[in-house]
Amino acid sequence: MNPTREAVSALRNARSVAVLTGSGVSAESGVPTFRDAQTGLWENYDPMDLATPEAFARNPELVWEWYEWRRKLIGEAKPNPAHEALSELEKRVPDFTLITQNVDGLHREAGSENVLELHGNIHRTVCSKERTTIEPENFIEGTPPKCPNCGAFLRPDVVWFGETLPVGVMEAASEAARNCEIFISAGTSSVVYPAASLPYEAMESGSLVIEINPDDTPLTAVADIVLRGSAGEILPALSSSGE
């Protein structure tokens, strides 16, 4: 059977689906990947000087300004057909979980509701000490601004290199992977752990694993169905399978 038809047929009757998305999905909205954003003013900086706890401790102003610049870039992006297709798929599947490595918030903007953000959300700001979310109207002005409760610097609510993923979010992602009938990996290189372990957890539990990617990844050789192409091209065809 044609791989696309096979995927469409499987999804038509699926009661539980988990989807993992990566930077390839956001790239189709014009969101630069982390390393692609090392341009212009920032091209001479190593990512390790901009996205680690040590970098923030050493030069919080530099790190804050880098993330402010990235927020502006991301703020100009809009959801693409892949985001919209996943939002539609969620409406049709009784038990649907969207797990994303992206920090841009575009899945929620497209209407997805049950979203697990493994690496955080660049639009949220937290206290670097207490990790509580602080709304912009409550910032104590500065670069970076400070927490109104304890006076510590504020930081973007993202997972930096060397930091662990939020325990509750990763546990929920693992549970979704283990309990789904179909697991879709879309636009991710399948090399960043622990997210890259999720399709294997799904496979071990008997799930059908579908990979959507223009290129081969470590997952390609073991996925049940491999669909070559961009998520923006393929996901709309899959999400309309029940119509």
Is omega for the bond preceding 81 within 30 degrees of 0, making it cis?
A: no
123 in catalytic set: no
C-beta separation of 118 from 170 below 8 A: yes
83, 107, 119, 123: the active-site residue: 119
> For 72, what's the count of Cα atoms within 13 Å in the CB-facing half-sphere?
5
DSSP 136: G
C-beta separation of 21 from 188 below 8 A: yes
> For 155, what's the count of Cα atoms within 13 Å in the CB-facing half-sphere?
24
CA 29 to chain centroid, in Å, comes to 13
Catalytic sites, residue numbers: 119
